[in-house]
Amino acid sequence: MPPTTQPEITRHEYDVVVIGAGGAGLRAAIAAREQGKRTAVISKSLFGKAHTVMAEGGAAAALGNANADDEWRVHFRDTIRGGKFLNDPRMAELHAREAPERILELEYWGALFDRTADGRISQRNFGGHEYPRLAHVGDRTGLEMIRTLQQRVVALQQADAAELGDPEARIRVFAETAITRLITEGGDGDAPGRIVGAFGYRRVDGGFVVFEAPAVVLATGGIGKAFRTTSNSWEYTGDGHALALRAGAGLINMEFVQFHPTGMVWPPSVKGILVTESVRGDGGVLRNADGERFMFNYVPDVFRSQYAETEEEADGWYDDPANHRRPPELLPRDEVARAINTEVKEGRGSPHGGVFLDVSSRLPAEEIRRRLPSMHHQFKELADVDITAEPMEVGPTCHYVMGGVRVDADTAASDVPGLFAAGEVAGGMHGSNRLGGNSLSDLLVFGRRAGMGAAAYLDGLGGRPDAGAVVDRAASEAAAEALRFLKQGDGENPYTLHAELQETMNDLVGIIRRGPEMERALERLDELAERSLMLSAPGDRVYNPGWHLALALPNMVLVSRAVTAAALERTESRGGHTRDDHPGMSPEWRRVSLEVRSDASDRVTLTRRPVADIPAELLGLFEHDELAKYLTKEELPETVAADEAAEEGQS
């Protein structure tokens, strides 16, 4: 197929189009289909291989199987603490309340979680969670989740085959298909138009597809590929974030990017690959080059009362958590990542610029192989390290974006009519820092809500709007735009531009940020934005990775602008946003979420939005002293009332 022929565009009509086949997307699609909607699920990779498959540690849900004292309020409190009180409280509440149901539902669909002695789902410890709370399968929980949801989709297809004669009558998966544009209709300067469709290309043959649909659920995951050192795969180019911006939706909290404290650091080719937090949850400790368990020196004031001060106390916690405080290795991720960064910077790092993570001296070899099989395998195969006999070398890696599409908590609706978002692409749930394990449960809770939200939106529309002409026009425009990179013979190599972008973000908007550096980053991003329009991809349209990268680069640049602009604006440090020049946490900033929007030429603007108040009865879960560290004076509840409610909540 010569690259320059006028493209043919395959047309489909659906009620709901779900972009993304990870945990959030599949759960949304299942919900929409169960509401009787004809649903398409679109994925850049093959069915069953979305990024969720990589999740290791587990899914957080207050099932109370490992410790009967656990309940949703405690999970809520941990989530808010982890997010440093910037979370959307309604999302955090729904998440904590509904996660157990969603996990049990997975089991009912065939998932096989590890068991407790009495035959229930076993739960493990993770950073920031007060009780063992993560439902898990060894260290391959994401695989179990994806496979179960995938098999649930197949079960629904089988049911439709029996009932309607066609397995794809109501739910169809479009694998290896990438959406490059959302199509809207109407709208003006102030109000965005409503969704009428989506346009994209098939990776396998380069053919174009357009979906005419009144509702779209974004479930595209994260943005990590904008950074050099990352645990994320090629899929994480921020497509959903960029699609939402261009359709007129707002993104919030984009300055908050989670650097996971433990990525591999050696050999270079695996730098960034994740080392699961379960290693620490199951007893692994961090040491610097002097052999010191340095995390004891980094317990911040706000967490002082909950974490152990001596090694003896910390070690006692694993077997007797009621009478010991937690080991500081299990502080929320932002704290641990910064601590490692400091140790390395001050010259106490390991030979390859990380620190040591040791489980070999903490658990018998057999137990390590049983509890952490894929870590054992990963280090043996990729780094020639036997984790049952020697420590690993680890350092921070870009892992997760807390920011995303601003949505209504209950329905996952964005402020573009017909556009919904769930999973990592949505913002608000995790505040300034996500707790480990809270993403997998988030995907299920809000994936389902997004599918139901989209279905309810359709019901509210009454009839199906006729937008055929708008969709067709937008599609041929988008097709011409996509083909441009194949025609620009003398443009730049997309791989080179990508490397420069990653360098810029890693070095100038990375784990520790400074105002002047971010200003430099914004200038560079302007330049990269220009250049990203001039890329050229040799070859034709069939499975052409250079072309695919060229199409994704403008998205990465746009999302990088959003991250950088918001990070420059927020003059404080909180969670996944650390400013060297503004190291303190400010109660005034706690009340503010930054919302990013973009214009027709991908330039971004910021507005400040108030963070919703935590309802009084939930605020009562926190001690007054703790609240005083986060909130402004006017926000603080009466001391007495707060303490009473806290006691109630704990009982």
Ligand X SMILES: Cc1cc2nc3c(=O)[nH]c(=O)nc-3n(C[C@H](O)[C@H](O)[C@H](O)COP(=O)(O)OP(=O)(O)OC[C@H]3O[C@@H](n4cnc5c(N)ncnc54)[C@H](O)[C@@H]3O)c2cc1C
3-state secondary structure of 596: strand
Beta 123-124 vs 134-135: how paired, if at all?
antiparallel
Q: How far is CA 316 from CA 131, 304, 324, 364, 595, in A?
A: 15, 18, 6, 17, 44
Of 177 and 341, CB closest to ligand X: 177
Which of other proteins, ligand X, none has residue 374 at its interface (CB below 5 to 8 Å by kind)? Answer: other proteins
In the numeric block, which tokens belong to residue 448? 């389902």
Q: How far is the CB of 440 from ligand X (least distance, A)?
A: 4
**Which one of 98, 185, 235, 334 is in contact with other proteins (CB under 8 A)?**
235
Residue nearest to ligand X (CB): 22
Alpha-carbon span 439 to 649, nearest angstrom = 24
Instruction: Choose the one of other proteins, ligand X, none that binds residue 104, judging by a C-beta under 5 to 8 angstroms depending on kind.
Output: other proteins
- Binding partner of residue 57 among other proteins, ligand X, none, CB under 5 to 8 Å per kind? ligand X
Active-site annotation holds for 541:
no
374 touches other proteins (CB under 8 A): yes
**Nearest to other proteins of 540, 623 (CB atom):** 540
Interface with other proteins in residues 391-450 (CB under 8 A): none
- Could you tell me which residues are beta bridge partners of residue 201? 178, 208
Q: Alpha helices of 391-493 — where are they, by DSSP H?
A: 438-461, 468-487
Is residue 547 within the footprint of other proteins (CB under 8 A)?
yes
Q: How far is the CB of 500 from ligand X (least distance, A)?
A: 22
Choose the contact partner of 239 out of other proteins, ligand X, none; CB within 5 to 8 A by kind.
ligand X
170, 181, 246, 280: the catalytic one is: 280
Which amino acid is it at 556?
M
Distances (CA, A) of 566 to 118, 513, 560, 563: 49, 12, 10, 5
Report DSSP letters for 325-392, one per residue.
PBPGGGS-HHHHHHHHHHHHHTT---TTSSEEEE-TTTS-HHHHHHH-HHHHHHHHHHH---TTTSPE
Residue 227 binding: pick among other proteins, ligand X, none (C-beta 5-8 Å cut-off by kind): none
Look up residue 572 and give its two tokens: 């404080």
- For ligand X, the closer of residues 423 and 620 by Cβ is 423
List residues near ligand X by CB under 6 A: 19-25, 42-45, 50-52, 54-59, 141-142, 178-179, 200, 219-221, 231-232, 235, 239-240, 274, 400, 423-425, 436-440, 443
67-106: which residues touch other proteins (CB under 8 A)?
101, 104-105
Catalytic pick among 152, 194, 203, 260: 260
Nearer Cβ to other proteins (51/326): 51
Which helix (H) or strand (E) segment is 82 a member of?
helix 72-82
Catalytic (active site) residue 561? no
Residue found by looking up tokens 């405080």 in the block: 325
- Would you give the binding string for other proteins spanning residues 281-320, x where CB under 8 A is met? ----------------------------------------
Q: Which of residues 161-180 bind other proteins (CB under 8 A)?
A: 161-162, 165-167
Which of 430, 320, 373, 424 is CA-nearest to residue 82? 430
**In angstroms, rounded to a whole number, what is the distance separating the alpha carbons of residues 442 and 102?**
10
Whether 598 and 246 have beta carbons less than 8 Å apart is answered as: yes
Name the one range near other proteins by CB under 8 A: 66-74, 112-120, 285-293, 571-579: 112-120
489 to 528, contacts with other proteins by CB under 8 A? 493-496
Tell me if 534 contacts other proteins by CB under 8 A.
no
The CA radius of gyration of the chain, in Å to the nearest whole number, is 24
Three-point CA angle 559, 565, 571, nearest 5°: 135
Should residue 64 be labelled a site residue for other proteins when binding is judged by CB under 8 A?
no
Residue 14 contacts which entry, other proteins, ligand X, none (Cβ below 5-8 A, type-dependent): none
Site for other proteins in 202-221 (CB under 8 A): 204-205
Instruction: Quote the CA–CA distance of 363 and 118 in Å, as a whole number.
Output: 24
Q: Report what 283 binds from ligand X, other proteins, none; CB cut-off 5-8 Å by kind.
A: none
Return the active site residues.
260, 280
